[in-house]
């Protein structure tokens, strides 16, 4: 596992640069039990930073799996009001939320995908208010990762447990620049500025559409919503408190026009969804909607994502990540979206981020619908970037601009 010094450094980064808890603010930590050491360090750092209260919600993915295995759908889908309140009340009152993830790969493998989907829908409905608060950046939130044995074995199958855990821990720490001899908080200030450079360039171009092509077979035109806003790195709450929602993050992203995707996209990294792994798949879009799809395996899982609700066959995010970004260069497949999406250009099926369009965070859902912002209860990123990715932007006046050549920015 990680050394005490590294954990303390990592906790400081998560609390200060991640959620950036403010004096007298409540901080909520959601974390699996196998991240206990990190949680303890984050609680301490939260109080040092001035939090008036730190609330910890522990869970366990393997026990959670047992609930799915043994409980009936009726029990799993009846989510009592007190559980909803427990989650949403702190957010309503302005608490910030730190999610520490430590996924057990394929923990739900073998559980009926219909059951998973029904429960997923019930949970998304029940917890809708809390996801709307965070997706609209009304409070600070952040996701960081932490190693565990099962995950390490999946990523480094040829190593002993001990070596694998060490390697995964190092890879996670490297991805967020938590090193023995540096100041990660200072690093992140510079990193956020570097991402802002591309955000500004792309916002200035105000492209009408982007055309993605590569040798994997992707040939996709993505129209962007009018008045779209590119984002990347840190972002601000309405009160102007800065936070980093994902650590690591290497992407700049914006809102596609819901009805404006046409062509084919081929995945280049496996997608871990609902505890199952879809290793290779392709989707074809017509006027924004997925019209055909095929996966080499777990087609039913892909289907359950696409058919999750009315909006899950449309997209809510298009993100650019250079091939030569640090996580991509590490050549490690994490089997986890927090990491893998930062190694590759990606698209999200499902809900768009209101902050990706001008005045979006103050628009009603109806207003967002009218401008072509996708609405869904889900948001799942999948990766399609590659070494040979070409992206050509078309401006509002019809000029073309090369944005990516050979997998990297050329603007």
Smallest distance, Zn ion to C-beta of residue 43, A: 28
Angle at Cα 217 formed by Cα 212 and Cα 222, nearest 5°? Answer: 25
Return the number of other C-beta atoms located less than 10 Å from residue 81's C-beta: 8
CA 41, distance to chain mean position in Å, is: 24
Which single residue is written with the structure tokens 């954990």?
A: 7
With a CB cutoff of 8 Å and minimum separation 6, the contacts of 326 are 174, 175, 248, 250
Q: Is 317 in the site for Zn ion (CB under 5 A)?
A: yes
Piece of the chain touching Zn ion by CB under 5 A; list 5-13, 58-66, 186-194, 253-261: 253-261
Write out the binding residues for Zn ion, residues 118-157 only, by CB under 5 A: none
Distance (Å, whole) CA 357 – CA 342? 22
Query: Shortest gap between Cβ of 253 and Zn ion (angstroms)?
Result: 5
Distance of alpha carbon 164 from alpha carbon 210, whole angstroms: 40
Specify the stretch interacting with Zn ion by CB under 5 A; choose among 48-56, 116-124, 193-201, 319-327. 319-327
**348 interacts with Zn ion by CB under 5 A:** yes
Q: Which stretch binds Zn ion (CB under 5 A): 148-156, 229-237, 326-334, 345-353?
A: 345-353
- Does 319 engage in binding with Zn ion (CB under 5 A)? yes
In the complex, minimum distance from the CB of residue 48 to Zn ion, in angstroms, rounded to a whole number: 31
Q: From CA 17, how far away is CA 234, in angstroms rounded?
A: 9
Nearer to Zn ion, 20 or 342 (CB): 342
Strands 408-409 and 400-405: antiparallel
Stretch that binds Zn ion, among 184-192, 259-267, 310-318, 326-334 (CB under 5 A): 310-318
Q: How far apart are CA 341 and CA 284, in angstroms?
A: 20
**Least distance (Å) from Zn ion to the CB of residue 317?**
5
* Cα angle: 119, vertex 122, 128; to 5 degrees: 135
Dihedrals φ, ψ of 273, to 5°? -135, 130
Contacts of 373 (CB under 8 A, 6+ apart): 225, 255, 258, 316, 352, 354, 357, 360
234 near Zn ion (CB under 5 A): no
Cβ 287 to Zn ion shortest distance, Å: 22
Question: Per CB under 5 A, does 340 bind Zn ion?
Answer: no
Question: Residue 61 interacts with Zn ion (CB under 5 A)?
Answer: no
**Which residue among 8, 103, 234, 381 contacts Zn ion (CB under 5 A)?**
381
Count of residues engaged in binding Zn ion, rule: CB under 5 A: 6
Residue 250 sits in the site that holds Zn ion (CB under 5 A)? no
Cβ closest to Zn ion, residue 281 vs residue 382: 382
Binding residues (CB under 5 A) for Zn ion: these are 251, 253, 317, 319, 348, 381
């Amino acid at each position: 596992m990680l050394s005490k010094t590294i954990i303390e450094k990592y906790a400081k980064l998560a609390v200060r640069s991640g959620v950036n808890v403010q004096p007298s603010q409540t901080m909520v930590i959601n974390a699996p039990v196998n991240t206990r050491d990190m949680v303890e360090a984050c609680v301490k750092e939260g109080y040092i930073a001035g939090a008036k209260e730190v609330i910890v919600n522990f869970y366990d993915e393997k026990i959670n799996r047992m609930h799915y295995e043994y409980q009936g759908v009726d029990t799993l889908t009846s989510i009592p009001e007190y559980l909803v309140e427990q989650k949403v009340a702190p957010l309503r009152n302005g608490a910030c939320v730190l999610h520490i993830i430590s996924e057990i790969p394929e923990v739900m493998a073998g559980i009926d995908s219909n059951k998973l989907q029904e429960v997923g829908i019930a949970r998304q409905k029940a917890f809708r208010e809390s996801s709307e608060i965070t997706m609209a950046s009304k409070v600070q939130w952040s996701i960081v990762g932490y190693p565990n044995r099962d995950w390490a074995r999946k990523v480094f199958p040829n190593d002993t447990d001990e070596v694998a855990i060490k390697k995964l821990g190092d890879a996670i720490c490297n991805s967020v620049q938590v090193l023995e001899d540096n100041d990660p908080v200072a690093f992140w200030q510079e990193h956020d500025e570097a991402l802002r450079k591309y955000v500004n360039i792309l916002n200035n171009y105000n492209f009408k559409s982007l055309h993605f092509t590569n040798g994997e077979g992707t040939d996709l035109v993505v129209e962007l919503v009018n008045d779209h806003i590119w984002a990347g790195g840190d972002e601000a709450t309405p009160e102007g408190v800065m936070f980093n929602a994902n650590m690591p993050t290497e992407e700049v992203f914006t809102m596609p026009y819901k009805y404006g995707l046409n062509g084919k996209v081929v995945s280049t990294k496996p997608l871990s969804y609902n505890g199952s792994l879809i290793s290779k798949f392709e989707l074809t879009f017509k006027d924004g909607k997925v019209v055909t799809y095929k996966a080499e395996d777990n087609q039913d899982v892909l289907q359950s994502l696409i058919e999750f609700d009315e909006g899950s066959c449309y997209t809510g995010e298009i993100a650019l990540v250079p091939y030569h970004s640090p996580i991509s260069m590490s050549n490690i497949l994490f089997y986890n979206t927090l990491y893998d999406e930062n190694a590759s250009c990606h698209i999200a099926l499902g809900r768009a981020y209101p902050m990706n369009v001008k005045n979006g965070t103050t628009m009603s859902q109806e207003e967002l619908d009218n401008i072509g912002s996708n609405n869904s209860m889900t948001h799942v990123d999948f990766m399609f970037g590659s070494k040979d990715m070409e992206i050509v932007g078309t401006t509002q006046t019809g000029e073309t601009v090369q944005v990516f050549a050979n997998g990297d920015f050329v603007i």
